[in-house]
Structure 1
Amino acid sequence: MERGNETTGRVKVHRRLSSVFIPPQPPILERTATLVNNVVTPVSTKFRLRAGTLSNEREVIPNCLAERGVHRYQLHNYRHYCGNKITTAKYTLLTFIPKNLWEQFHRIANLYFVIIACLNWIPALQAFNRYVGMIPVGLILLLTACKDAYEDFRRRRLDKQINCSYCHVWDSDKNRFRKMQWRHVIVGDFVHLSIDEVIPADILLIRSSDTSGICFVETSNLDGETSLKQRRVPTSIISFSGEESEFKPPQFKATIVCEKPNNLVYQMKGRIMYGDGHIEGIYRENMLLRGCKIRNTTFVEGIVLYAGKDTKVMMNNSGVRYKRSSLELATNRFILYCVAILIAMCLFNGIASMLWLFSFAPDITAVIFIILNTKSPITEGIINLVSSILNYQILIPLSLYISVELIKLGQIYLISADIDLYYEKSDRRMECRSLNIPEELGQIQYVLSDKTGTLTENKMIFRRCAIGGIDFGLDIDYNISSNDLSVENVVTSPTLKRQVDMEWNSNPELLDFFLTMAICNTVVVNKIPHVDAIDLGFFENGVFTTGNSTFLYSLQDPNYPLYSITSRFKDIGDERLLSGQRKRRGKFEEKMESLSPLYEAESPDELALVYAARAYGISLLSRSAESVTVALPYGNKEAFEILKVLPFDSTRKRMSIIVRREDEVVIYCKGADSEVISVLARSFVDSTYGTSVLRDSRALLEKFSTQGLRTLCLAKRTITIAEYEAWIAKHLEIENNINSVDRDDDLAKSINEIERDFSLLGVTAIEDRLQEGVEETIDVLRQAGIQMWLLTGDKMETAINVARSCGLFPSNCSIYVIDTESDVQTTYVQTSQNPFNEIYCIVLSSTSLHLLAQNHELLLGIITRSLAVLCYRMTPSNKAEIVKIVKKTLKGKVLAIGDGANDVPMIQCADVGIGISGQEGMQAVMAADFAIARFRYLHKLLLVHGHWCYDRLAKTFLYFLYKNALFVFVIFWCQMFNGFSGGAPMDQIYMMTYPIIFTSVQPLIFGIYDQVAHRKILYEKPKLYTVGRKGKVSHIYRCKTYWDSTIDYHTFGFLLATSIFIVNTIHLVIEVHCWTAPMIVIFLFFILVHFVYFRIEELLVSPSWQLKDPPVDVSHYAMITPEFWSALLLSTVIAVTPRFFVHMFFNAIRPSEVFVESLLQQKKCKRCRVLCINS
């Protein structure tokens, strides 16, 4: 391209970029004052204080109402409320060093080593060169700081990406919307958002492209739910909505008063005070929260009420609860044990030094090894006691914590990369959201599982229904593969289909039944894609300007096909072309109208019912906030005016929609059988028809439940317009009374007043099929000694049937239902007096939880001996309570697994929480420690990866303590040959770097790659899981430490250091079960590094290093003598041989189950490596 063209291109891009709204910054003096104020004012109170305001409310005046010429930084909203720029980074360039050091010094081990390094600067106590003594703690602090800096860099990069996103904000000076970066948005700004745009702040919805003032948002970034939620414009300003409306922001003349920022996502209280004195309430359904995405709506406009750190999503951004593994807690106890040994050794060294000096009196007998300036024995003993702390400091494993963090990162990477845990259909792999507890997967005692979406597919398929007590179901094949499941593929009953076609206009009960299925829901109907006109851009001063950031970035790409843009405008004056376009547009719209509607629902149950109604000829065509249109058989249509929607909640367990139908008001209701039947009209129940319908429906409900189907009851009530108007007046009064403390209770009472006196229309039955491999996985977990609990909100009959079908309750087991204390007594007698060790399972209701909470001994004994436990009619809080009770009373590691938002409390309370990435959004995944796509993946995750992780980390923990203790005890034994003077015969630099350089990488590789047994063995032999579950890790390391250290009594210096290093390396070699290329390379590399290090040090050492007794060609002369290699071989063999034979002895006399299974597997493969396998 020629230079001139390049310049032209740059000018065009620049002129397009000039439409970006970059607000002016405050003067430098004011910014400095603000910076000082931010430093002085605590973060939690920053931007919260307002002069003369002590209430719990904030007042927001729209910025578009400000006088012309007033800068944004002079606005009240800018000065008193938080801006929209977010910062999740912990450090800045100025604060990184002091803040990071402050955080690191909160670790007791780091503080301990800093104190030790400071003591080494005291000349009387100096055991090493003062600079050499700082090497260990300096390296650890530096490595940890580098890790923290990298993590903070990633956070800062993400912050910048978010803060520099674009949205459209009203510019009063230009009198139009202009692009602005999120970080410049402030409270009071009027924001325009197009379809699929992410919401930049918490915004009050003022206008929508829909004339009824509604819009739809996807809240997956906020609460994990992928289903669409409906939001609406406040009633008084619905007239602003519509694509043809000529509304401009300055027309909104009002002041908004809302509550102070809080983290309550599902609550919003506030009011709009209009200029004419009218006041209207603000509720959750009027708010667009930051992080959500606009869906199925061309555009929306609103005013920012909360920005940046004040938004709901940021105030809820507290992260996953930190969990400490039992192995980590055990390690802390081991470190205390090491501290006790260190104190004992130092006291012994000091006392022995005094006694030794007292035994040789230099003023009486000339002793050649007593220095003439030796102080008194007591003083010398105290000095040697303190200097011993410096010599023995590495007994506390300084590099343990950071090494374990790196090992866990490596383990998590390998688990996430396991192809067997990848689910191709949803393109999801295993995800770890908590990096500090992978070893807990190997110690699980109890698994508490949700049912729907966890054990089942959560693909709701309409199977059968009963209308007026008559069953219209088909005895179809329920063994169809899950691959063929589809909510749209409804198998209809020919009898019912024919009856609907013939009687839909003459049988009101039949029509009402399907109308309830079609309209009593929150299903969104979508057909035609939405295009916001603001994305198409506009001409400014003869130059085309676009406000769409994606469009703009595409223009800067030289490969972007620009002809497709210009073609939109090149024939704009051709009337014939425009006429042809209108014709084609008409044909296009006719074609789109002929397409089947696409349904999106908050609940898969609702989606199944809507598709089932369509299969029988009653189709939901369109829905708005004010009306819903339904297609009837033979091309007929009927529209209903929506008066009120009473949404589903977990307390009522039902949903209702109130519509106007001709001259009457009809309430259609659907919900759980118990909740709908309880509000049936007494006149209906007492009538002959009603009695028959209710009797037959209850029988069918039980029948459907025993088939494992989910049941719902559908009902209808007709009231007069006067009755409705009287009720809605009271209801709206309660809704608008936002300052009432009892508002929620009053609303519930008001809803109950209208949801009564129903007539039962019929019953629906929906199938939620079990996932593939569920039965086999439950059986494997049981063989591994893990007790399975199933927690479900279903009724007892449905829950028991599902428990049998999934294998939780074997066919040969007895089932005992416990609701009251008398049931406990009866069950205890029946289970304890059975001489045949009866296999039984327990069923608990929500009403029996108080018995568990009271530590009922008989009940706990019954549960402990049971095969499995089923809990039915469980609410989210009930599930969380059970997790807490099991952890507290049954004393075992608890794993909770679920897929929905109602499982989040349970997942967060468990020792290990696992989320299923299924059909109910990602909220459970976001709250979990681990995420998998299918329940069957628990098999490998626990029995293979869990077993490996626990075994690796347990042995790594013990090895770290062992190798440091071995080194220290060698120095300790040497004190007997130098008068307990505190001196060490080895090289000072090597002593300091030994635990963090020469012997840290090998256990790191071991902890990541070693496999105690082949994955096939662990996968096929579930009983081997008990090794980790019961914590059966060898503790023989303690005595091994003392034995290995005694072989070096008569070796010093280089030979002593080399012996220790080789013995440590061979010890770890014996522990390895599965050799990999990285492990072999690392082991050989560090053996070479050991010898090379001494040669390099001896070549570089000089008097300026200020080392005591610097080495001079020690290693060179040692390595060329046969005596050195003979002594090294002899000391190594003496140290390692006993341990080697101990392993062989235990493998021969009392082998572990893992060893036996590994040996059998090797024999099958005609390979035998008995001596290389550790029990």
Structure 2
Amino acid sequence: YKYNLVTFLPLNLFEQFKRAANSYFLVLLMFHTSADILLLSSSEPNSLCYVETAELDGETNLKFKMALEVTDRYLQEENAMAGFNGLIECEEPNNRLDKFTGTLLWRNRRYALDADKILLRGCKIRNTHFCHGVVIFAGADTEIMKNSGKTKFKRTKIDSLMNYMVYTVNGEVSFCFSTRCPCNAQVCPGFLSFSLVNDAGQINYQAASPDEGALVTAARNFGYVFLSRTQNTITISEMGTERTYDVLAILDFNSDRKRMSVIVRESNGNIRLYCKGADTVIFERLHPRNLKREETEEALDVFASETLRTLCLCYRDISHDEFEAWNKKFMEASVATSNRDEALDKVYEEIEKDLILLGATAIEDKLQDGVPETISKLSKADIKIWVLTGDKKETAENIGFSCELLTDETTICYGEDIRQVKTHKGFLKKKKLRLKFPRTAEEKQKQIEKKRRAEAYKEQQQKNFVDLACECKAVICCRVTPKQKAMVVDLVKKYKKAITLAIGDGANDVNMIKTAHIGVGISGQEGMQAVMSSDYSFGQFRYLQRLLLVHGRWSYIRMCKFLRYFFYKNFAFTLVHIWYSFFNGFSAQTAYEDWFITLYNVLYSSLPVLLVGLFDQDVSDKLSLRFPRLYVLGQKDLLFNYKKFFRSLLHGAITSLVIFFIPYGAYLQTMGQDGEAPSDYQSFAVTAATSLVFVVNLQIGLDTSYWTFVNAFSVFGSIAIYFGITFDFHSAGIHVLFPSAFQFTGTAPNALKQLYLWLTMALTIAVCLLPVVAQRFLSMTVRPSESDRIQKNRKKYLAEEEQWQRRQSAFRRGVSARRSAYAFSHQRGYADLIASGRSIRKKRAPLDAGCLISVLYHGTSSLCWKRGKANSVLQKLLILLQLCNVKLKDGCAAV
């Protein structure tokens, strides 16, 4: 068939979709949301819509979006949708994926719109049969397209200094900023859970964060089970009694508020506000006559000493009149089209006051394997470790001790003592900082001078902070917001000009990761935002030592060798033309054949240095980890700097002089074996080019520390390629085919038959390389570097490592490789101890009954059982195992 104007499109589509792959991708495209859509209703109860946002934030767990209650009620049918005539006012298109501000005006009433009601382009709709919505943004105005602009390029020192010089960033890190990511959740290799081959019949929670899930799971273990949630209600089973609460308002959490509240109406009509948040912000809003404050503070200190993450819980009863008055302000602020967040924060402050303290919770993040060893090695590598966390001071301090960032011998300087330390060390004078500015008579000029004075004082304070912090072995900043984390990193970059690395695992670390020269994300239970924003990502904190001490250091060494050699070989190649110009009347005549100039950097000298840049290593990875001090050479720029650059330039210039003048002197007034003078231009060009190929390829052999078959093949293969191509290009056959392009006919075969020329090339090579060999020998003998000494004793270190491995293997003899578990033991267990109720743990200060504390482990499954007579004994045993340290007092429980 033939195409025409009518049949082209349908026939073309028919041919395209005859391919199964195209049909498959079309079906996949249907699951994607192609615009930013306001959700009006869906097939699910309460107009929920489940979405997967892997293409937006990297998280694969399902999230839910919820339509407005009014649209859910009236816009379920298509006929009702056809008559929808509301007015939507919203912010302009932007790149904020987690925020949306807008209002819906419908039926003479205004409703607030936020990000929970928007289906963003790029998300996939799951477990939802259909949904109705209104397109807010489309095409280039969608938020994902606004985020796909030009990516901020992090320039390494190599790129920055290539205008003058070059470095490699991973081998020069001086500061490492870390959140509490070393305490990320991990699965403990202990008996913490089990599974029966039966239906457990238990609810599985999907929480916005591991902390939320841990708290809800703890409440379930104590008999308070979260059952269901709608837009306006929440259903809970309280010790077997099912109760439903009306949700009147939710006061959202953010990093500045550090708290979250919910206002509910109980079944008896009472209105109550429940709040949870950091102790610092909760204590500021407590009622003056709060009897449980001292006991809770003592409990918080105990939890902080065990590096637990704490929250305070409180409540407040609200009268109906007070709530009605406050709710009007809340509704006005929630529909504000500008400065909505500020207006809501102001309204939140009015109701979150005179709170009654309930108690505190403590959640433990298990320390990952290898964190203390990693921090110790990074410290030995002269990398300063700064921990930036949002936890309280005591918790942050104990985290430092648990990961061995702080030791018992460490002198700890707190923030309130900084001024005294500065005065002691001479950072500040006793008097106020005085800045001299020229005074003027005009008032406007005085205001400008005052602003300058304040700005200069602020900058001086920032510099003093960085100077003092850099004098410390380790720095821990507590109670910092995500913005403050980024500011600390930026201050170090600004005043210390050092290479910085930031590592984190949560969304609150994204700003810090993006600000640092190198951003590292850890994939854990806190989501994938940090991983998506990072330059490198891995699963555990301990892999950082290999990234820096092994791969970063090797990368720095390889790049420095590559660049030094690259400059050297090109100076040696290019400067020959300058010396030749003194003898050709400064004409455009080149010293080499045109084809040699073309292929020199492509085939004759590129492969060996490329392999050195990929595989070279001065010491093995095990020795690099064993001796972290080797990393210091990158921080001090010892392998490439101005001195090294000019040494490469001088080395290349001297090599070019030798390559030109030794053949030149050898060709003066000489006679070949055939009785003819070989001193023609073409023979000289072949001699100089052959000498250059030998010299630069043998020179990279001297620079190679890690020899493999591939390296040896590249060096000698490059020389062989040169001879093969040269003899082909100088043959008579190719000259007949292309007479104008190949004019050195027979030059190489005739010239290289002369023994005199081979002796000339041998002398040239010896004069170029023997001084280098002598200098390397004297340097390794008289002033060996740290890597030279380690490489010299590598056999000794390998023997020590083998001996240590043999010692370890002696303890593992007879251990089966299978990881099996058995239900019976030949030894008496701990049944008597459990039944007796005694505890072998160290006793701590008793907690009052007013505190409810739940200590949970992230990454571990909850214990579950099937109800039934057959499992009653097992159920009781599990309760004893899980709650053996629970003591009831005055109707409250404390773990």
Tell me the TM-score normalized by structure 2: 0.76
For 1:755 and 1:857, locate their aligned partners in 2 and report how far apart those are by CA, in whole Å. 38
Whether 1:755 and 2:755 are equivalent positions in the alignment is no
For 2:457 and 2:397, locate their aligned partners in 1 and report how far apart those are by CA, in whole Å. 21
For 1:763 and 1:201, locate their aligned partners in 2 and report how far apart those are by CA, in whole Å. 44
Identity level (%): 34
What is aligned with 1:723?
322
Whether 1:482 and 2:188 are equivalent positions in the alignment is yes
Q: Which string of whole-angstrom CA distances, capped at 9 and with x for unpartnered residues, describes residues 947-986 of structure 1?
A: 1101111111121111111012223223344444443342
For 1:1102 and 1:330, locate their aligned partners in 2 and report how far apart those are by CA, in whole Å. 46
Map 1:552-591 to 2 at 5 A: none
Out of 174, 184, 197, the position equivalent to 1:457 is 184
Out of 99, 105, 114, the position equivalent to 1:267 is 99
Whether 1:326 and 2:53 are equivalent positions in the alignment is no
| Equivalent position amino acid for 1:455 in 2 | P
For 1:482 and 1:943, locate their aligned partners in 2 and report how far apart those are by CA, in whole Å. 28
Whether 1:1159 and 2:792 are equivalent positions in the alignment is yes
What is aligned with 1:173?
none
CA contact (8 A) 2:729 2:742 kept: no
Aligned to 2:247, the other structure's residue is in SS state: strand
What is aligned with 1:1141?
774
Alpha-carbon shift at residue 1146 of structure 1 (Å) = 0.5
For 1:483 and 1:1163, locate their aligned partners in 2 and report how far apart those are by CA, in whole Å. 35
Out of 806, 814, 825, the position equivalent to 2:411 is 814
CA contact (8 A) 2:466 2:492 kept: no
| Equivalent position amino acid for 1:262 in 2 | N
Alpha-carbon shift at residue 824 of structure 1 (Å) = 4.1
What is aligned with 1:1041?
652
What is aligned with 1:773?
370
What is aligned with 2:248?
643
Q: 1:850 to 1:919 in 2, by over 3 A?
A: farther
Aligned to 1:935, the other structure's residue is in SS state: coil
Map 1:851-862 to 2 at 5 A: 853-854=459-460, 859-862=465-468
Whether 1:909 and 2:528 are equivalent positions in the alignment is no
CA contact (8 A) 1:789 1:869 kept: yes
For 2:496 and 2:569, locate their aligned partners in 1 and report how far apart those are by CA, in whole Å. 37
For 1:611 and 1:871, locate their aligned partners in 2 and report how far apart those are by CA, in whole Å. 31
Aligned to 1:869, the other structure's residue is in SS state: strand
What is aligned with 2:881?
none
CA contact (8 A) 1:218 1:292 kept: yes
What is aligned with 1:883?
489
Q: Which string of whole-angstrom CA distances, capped at 9 and with x for unpartnered residues, describes residues 312-332 of structure 1?
A: 011111354212221233332
What is aligned with 2:708?
1076
Out of 652, 656, 667, the position equivalent to 2:261 is 656
CA contact (8 A) 1:220 1:921 kept: no
Alpha-carbon shift at residue 254 of structure 1 (Å) = 4.2
Whether 1:735 and 2:334 are equivalent positions in the alignment is yes
For 1:273 and 1:164, locate their aligned partners in 2 and report how far apart those are by CA, in whole Å. 38
Whether 1:825 and 2:422 are equivalent positions in the alignment is yes
Aligned to 1:628, the other structure's residue is in SS state: strand
Whether 1:301 and 2:132 are equivalent positions in the alignment is yes
Alpha-carbon shift at residue 656 of structure 1 (Å) = 1.4
Q: Which string of whole-angstrom CA distances, capped at 9 and with x for unpartnered residues, describes residues 62-120 of structure 1?
A: xxxxxxxxxxxxxxxxxxxxxxxxxxxxxxxxxxxxxxxxxxxxxxxxxxxxxxxxxxx
Q: 1:994 to 1:161 in 2, by over 3 A?
A: farther
Alpha-carbon shift at residue 199 of structure 1 (Å) = 2.8
Out of 281, 285, 296, the position equivalent to 2:116 is 285
CA contact (8 A) 2:98 2:115 kept: yes
Alpha-carbon shift at residue 822 of structure 1 (Å) = 2.9
For 2:6 and 2:353, locate their aligned partners in 1 and report how far apart those are by CA, in whole Å. 65
What is aligned with 2:863?
none
What is aligned with 2:46?
212
Which stretch of structure 1 is more off in the superposition, 806-815 or 1124-1133? 1124-1133
CA contact (8 A) 2:463 2:495 kept: no
For 2:352 and 2:190, locate their aligned partners in 1 and report how far apart those are by CA, in whole Å. 39
Whether 1:1058 and 2:690 are equivalent positions in the alignment is yes
Alpha-carbon shift at residue 807 of structure 1 (Å) = 1.0
| Equivalent position amino acid for 1:1133 in 2 | A
Q: Which string of whole-angstrom CA distances, capped at 9 and with x for unpartnered residues, describes residues 516-552 of structure 1?
A: xxxxxxxxxxxxxxxxxxxxxxxxxxxxxxxxxxxxx
| Equivalent position amino acid for 1:815 in 2 | I
Q: 1:866 to 1:484 in 2, by over 3 A?
A: same
CA contact (8 A) 2:422 2:428 kept: no
What is aligned with 1:116?
none
For 2:128 and 2:561, locate their aligned partners in 1 and report how far apart those are by CA, in whole Å. 58
For 2:169 and 2:375, locate their aligned partners in 1 and report how far apart those are by CA, in whole Å. 19
Q: Which string of whole-angstrom CA distances, capped at 9 and with x for unpartnered residues, describes residues 739-795 of structure 1?
A: xx3433221122222222221111111111211111111110111111111111111
Alpha-carbon shift at residue 811 of structure 1 (Å) = 1.7
Number of residue pairs the alignment of both structures matches: 730
Q: 1:1042 to 1:805 in 2, by over 3 A?
A: same
For 1:162 and 1:901, locate their aligned partners in 2 and report how far apart those are by CA, in whole Å. 37
For 2:228 and 2:464, locate their aligned partners in 1 and report how far apart those are by CA, in whole Å. 58
For 2:294 and 2:257, locate their aligned partners in 1 and report how far apart those are by CA, in whole Å. 23
Q: Which string of whole-angstrom CA distances, capped at 9 and with x for unpartnered residues, describes residues 448-503 of structure 1?
A: 1111xx111246xxxxxxxxxxxxxxxxxxxxx833497x89xxxxxxxxxxxxxx
For 2:264 and 2:722, locate their aligned partners in 1 and report how far apart those are by CA, in whole Å. 84
| Equivalent position amino acid for 1:482 in 2 | C
Q: 1:26 to 1:884 in 2, by over 3 A?
A: farther
CA contact (8 A) 1:213 1:625 kept: no
What is aligned with 2:177?
448
Whether 1:231 and 2:62 are equivalent positions in the alignment is no
Alpha-carbon shift at residue 1063 of structure 1 (Å) = 0.1
CA contact (8 A) 1:213 1:238 kept: yes
Aligned to 1:598, the other structure's residue is in SS state: coil
Whether 1:992 and 2:598 are equivalent positions in the alignment is yes
Q: Which string of whole-angstrom CA distances, capped at 9 and with x for unpartnered residues, describes residues 124-171 of structure 1?
A: xxxxxxxxxxxxxxxxxxxxxxxxxxxxxxxxxxxx98995447xxxx
RMSD: 3.3
Alpha-carbon shift at residue 1076 of structure 1 (Å) = 2.2
| Equivalent position amino acid for 1:207 in 2 | S
Alpha-carbon shift at residue 1070 of structure 1 (Å) = 0.5
Alpha-carbon shift at residue 862 of structure 1 (Å) = 3.3
Aligned to 1:799, the other structure's residue is in SS state: helix
Map 1:484-499 to 2 at 5 A: 484=190
Q: 1:1140 to 1:1039 in 2, by over 3 A?
A: same
Alpha-carbon shift at residue 991 of structure 1 (Å) = 1.6
Aligned to 1:1068, the other structure's residue is in SS state: helix
For 2:354 and 2:693, locate their aligned partners in 1 and report how far apart those are by CA, in whole Å. 85
What is aligned with 1:310?
141
Q: Which string of whole-angstrom CA distances, capped at 9 and with x for unpartnered residues, describes residues 1090-1113 of structure 1?
A: 011111112254388575992121
Which stretch of structure 1 is more off in the superposition, 717-726 or 871-880? 717-726
What is aligned with 1:892?
498
For 1:246 and 1:334, locate their aligned partners in 2 and report how far apart those are by CA, in whole Å. 67
For 1:874 and 1:303, locate their aligned partners in 2 and report how far apart those are by CA, in whole Å. 39
| Equivalent position amino acid for 1:708 in 2 | T
Name structure 2 gaps, 5 residues minimum. Answer: 10-20, 430-454, 664-683, 801-895
CA contact (8 A) 2:462 2:491 kept: no
Alpha-carbon shift at residue 883 of structure 1 (Å) = 0.7
For 2:145 and 2:191, locate their aligned partners in 1 and report how far apart those are by CA, in whole Å. 39
Aligned to 2:46, the other structure's residue is in SS state: coil
Alpha-carbon shift at residue 681 of structure 1 (Å) = 2.6
Name structure 1 gaps, 5 residues minimum. Answer: 1-24, 32-159, 168-180, 183-196, 336-436, 460-480, 490-590, 833-848, 1168-1175
Whether 1:874 and 2:480 are equivalent positions in the alignment is yes
Q: 1:165 to 1:881 in 2, by over 3 A?
A: farther
Aligned to 1:622, the other structure's residue is in SS state: strand
Whether 1:710 and 2:541 are equivalent positions in the alignment is no
Q: 1:701 to 1:228 in 2, by over 3 A?
A: farther
CA contact (8 A) 1:212 1:626 kept: no
What is aligned with 2:876?
none
Aligned to 1:698, the other structure's residue is in SS state: helix
For 1:162 and 1:757, locate their aligned partners in 2 and report how far apart those are by CA, in whole Å. 62
Alpha-carbon shift at residue 724 of structure 1 (Å) = 2.5
